[in-house]
Amino acid sequence: MTEPDRERLETLAALVAGGAATPQEHRELDAFVDAHPEAAAEAKAFADAAAMLAEDIGEVAPPPNALAAIRAAVVAGTEREDSPRHAGAQIIAIAERRKKLAYGVAVVAAAAAAVFAMLWNQAREDAGILDARMWQQAYDARTELAREVGRADQAELELDRMRRHFGVATSPQLRLASVANAERGSHAKILIDPDGRRWLVVAHELPPAPPGKDYQMWIVPKGEGAVPIPAGLLRADGDVLQVEVALPPNVDAGAAAISLENAGGVDAPTDVQMIGPI
């Protein structure tokens, strides 16, 4: 590495670590690291230095129930981001949360029914002091309340999803890419938010996946022989298929692809339908 190269590397590593680099400077540093093994050590040194800023803050006691909540979330979502089912596919996570919400609503309704039954029996034993119609109204009110809570939670989840999509679409650095298959005449658009390292992939003309199959998204890192990274399953949303992708750290995507795989996804693509540069 020449001295000017070394100085440029220092500048780039300092800017990236300090959170002050532009997307182009990020890419330039990645290129340095790819080209010069010793550059990785320099970038690491600056990253460690930047982390010192955080260490200077000290420590703040976390909430007492946080670890239990984290463990519950980890156990509930036993599959990791690097597993094909869940790689970056927050839409799937939302679907699972919706199922849990629906289950939660059912549990609340069942609990309300049980309470109602208990109170009903008690009331009967107490010689029917209370009017049965009042108990029925209370039961109906509880059931309706549980339904409304479930709807509100679902609406909030949907709003979160739309906010993320809106964030990608309104990113100041927004870029548009596409993957396509000329023979099949199919293509998908990819909205890229380089700052947030998120993609929103939308496919308008894909035929529905056959039974037992799913369309799976892939990130193809730059570099010769790079192994594609599973990035989630495309899901129907209205008349389009889409998936939201969160790029793993330290991955510089050179291309993207969509493949047709067995339901649930696989570790490595087998039937690539569309591919294109990023």
Partner 1 sequence: MAQALPQLDDVALVRAMAAGDSGQPLTAFYERFAGRTMALLQRMLGSRAEAEELLQDVFVELWRRAPQYDAARAKVSTWVVTIARSRALDAIRSRKRRGGEHKQVDEASMRAPESQRPDVAAAQSQRGARVREALAKLTDVQREALELSYFEGLSHREIAERIDAPVGTVKSRIIAAMKVLRDTVEGVES
Place of tokens 């035929």: 207
Closest distance between partner 1 and the C-beta of residue 236, in Å? 25
Residue 38 as a binder of partner 1 (CB under 8 A): the answer is no
Helix axes 132-169, 90-125, angle to 10 degrees: 170
Binding residue for partner 1 (CB under 8 A) from 104, 177, 196, 202?
196
Residue 162 as a binder of partner 1 (CB under 8 A): the answer is no
Closest distance between partner 1 and the C-beta of residue 243, in Å? 17
CB 251 within 8 A of CB 229: yes
Q: What is the footprint of partner 1 within residues 240-259 (CB under 8 A)?
A: 248-250
Residue 238 as a binder of partner 1 (CB under 8 A): the answer is no
Which three-class secondary structure state does DSSP give residue 98?
helix
Query: Which residues, including other chains, have CB under 8 Å from residue 174's CB and lie 6 or more apart?
Result: 168, 191, 192, 193
Residue 195 as a binder of partner 1 (CB under 8 A): the answer is yes
What's the rounded Cα separation, in Å, for the pair 195 and 53?
21
Binding residue for partner 1 (CB under 8 A) from 170, 182, 225, 239?
170
Our CB check for partner 1 shows the closer of 197 and 213 to be 197
What's the rounded Cα separation, in Å, for the pair 172 and 196?
11
Residue 19 as a binder of partner 1 (CB under 8 A): the answer is yes
Closest distance between partner 1 and the C-beta of residue 107, in Å? 22
Residue 100 as a binder of partner 1 (CB under 8 A): the answer is no
Residue 182 as a binder of partner 1 (CB under 8 A): the answer is no
What's the rounded Cα separation, in Å, for the pair 222 and 274?
17
CA angle 193/16/45 to nearest 5° reads 140
Our CB check for partner 1 shows the closer of 43 and 112 to be 43
Residue 55 as a binder of partner 1 (CB under 8 A): the answer is yes
Q: What is the footprint of partner 1 within residues 59-88 (CB under 8 A)?
A: 59-63, 66-67, 69-71, 73-75, 77, 80-82, 86
Our CB check for partner 1 shows the closer of 87 and 209 to be 87
Q: Which of 199, 203, 263, 253 is nearest to 229 (CA)?
A: 253
Size of the site for partner 1 (CB under 8 A): 54
Strand order in the sheet with 235-237: 229-233, 213-221, 253-262, 272-277, 175-181, 186-193, 198-203, 240-246, 235-237
**Segment interacting with partner 1 (CB under 8 A) among 18-26, 113-121, 220-228, 237-245:** 18-26
Q: What number of other Cβ atoms are within 10 A of residue 16's Cβ?
A: 20
Closest distance between partner 1 and the C-beta of residue 212, in Å? 27
Residue 23 as a binder of partner 1 (CB under 8 A): the answer is no
Binding residue for partner 1 (CB under 8 A) from 44, 124, 151, 175?
44
Q: Which of 161, 166, 239 is nearest to 202 (CA)?
A: 239
Place of tokens 């990035």: 231
CB 112 within 8 A of CB 143: yes
Kindly list the residues in this chain that would bind partner 1 in the complex (CB under 8 A): 10-11, 13-15, 17-20, 40, 43-63, 66-67, 69-71, 73-75, 77, 80-82, 86, 163, 166-167, 170, 195-197, 248-250
